[in-house]
């Protein structure tokens, strides 16, 4: 849900009809991030092209900002003007490339908007705090049941970041993003 939503934002914000995705380790979960991002971008802009690369196939792919920057620069050279990373520390290279080439990046997991103010369009948030609080509240009430839980937009387990670093950047798209968020939540 979060990757779709930031993909939708990328599809709205692109001026070149090309956006990018840099994943860390090429694994099924990160491919799902890519697929949702691409679906969101194309839902907002059917003409958009989604370029994608993965840093690598081993755990070191999460900690290679030099390679992250190289991949982002390659996508920028192919026209991408918004790049979403799901690459751990390798994403720092994506932010460097976005700053250098004056395009936008999208962060992941936590609010990364302040890393390169004015260059990070938003960050897709995994609200672990929300999940932890919900479980603690169940324990306190004596209602805890072990098992798998999934938190999404509906229960505020996923979101996108808005703060003083990006509020003006996403202002033109905010009402449309909120409309799409409501559509996702309603099913």
Q: Average pLDDT, whole number, for the chain?
A: 96
The SS3 of residue 30 is helix
pLDDT at 118: 95
Least confident among 49-58, 93-102, 146-155:
146-155
pLDDT of residue 132: 92
**Token digits of residue 71:** 């991949």
Residue pair 14/42 in contact by the 8 Å Cβ criterion: no
Distances in Å between the Cα of 133 and the Cα atoms of 118, 125, 130, 140, 152 are 32, 16, 5, 10, 15
Instruction: Tell me 151's DSSP state.
Output: -
**Tokens 């948030």 appear where?**
125
Of 95, 151, 96, 154, the closest CA to residue 123 belongs to 95
102-160 pLDDT tens trace: 999 999 999 999 999 999 999 999 999 998 999 999 999 999 999 988 889 999 899 99
Distance (Å, whole) CA 43 – CA 145: 38
Q: Cα 184 vs. chain centroid, distance in angstroms?
A: 16
pLDDT tens track for 11-36: 999 999 999 999 999 999 999 999 99
For position 66, what pLDDT does the model report? 98
34 neighbors 23 (Cβ within 8 angstroms): yes
């Amino acid at each position: 849900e979060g990757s779709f939503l930031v993909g939708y934002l990328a599809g709205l914000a692109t001026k070149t009809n090309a956006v990018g995705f840099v994943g860390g380790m090429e694994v099924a979960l990160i491919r799902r991030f890519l697929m949702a991002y691409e679906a969101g971008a194309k839902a907002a802009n059917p003409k958009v092209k989604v370029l994608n690369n993965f840093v690598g196939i081993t755990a070191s792919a999460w900690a290679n900002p030099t390679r992250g920057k190289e991949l982002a620069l390659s996508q920028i050279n192919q026209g991408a003007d918004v790049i979403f990373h799901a690459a751990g520390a390798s994403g720092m290279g994506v932010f460097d490339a976005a700053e250098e080439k004056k395009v936008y990046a999208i962060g992941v997991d936590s609010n990364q908007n302040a890393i390169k103010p004015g260059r990070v369009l938003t960050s897709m948030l995994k609200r672990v705090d929300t999940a932890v609080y919900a479980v603690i509240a169940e324990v306190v009430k004596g209602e805890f049941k072990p098992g798998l839980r999934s938190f999404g937009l509906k229960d505020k387990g996923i979101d996108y970041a808005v703060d003083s670093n990006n509020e003006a950047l996403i202002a033109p798209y905010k009402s449309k993003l909120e409309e799409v968020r409501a559509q996702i939540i309603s099913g």
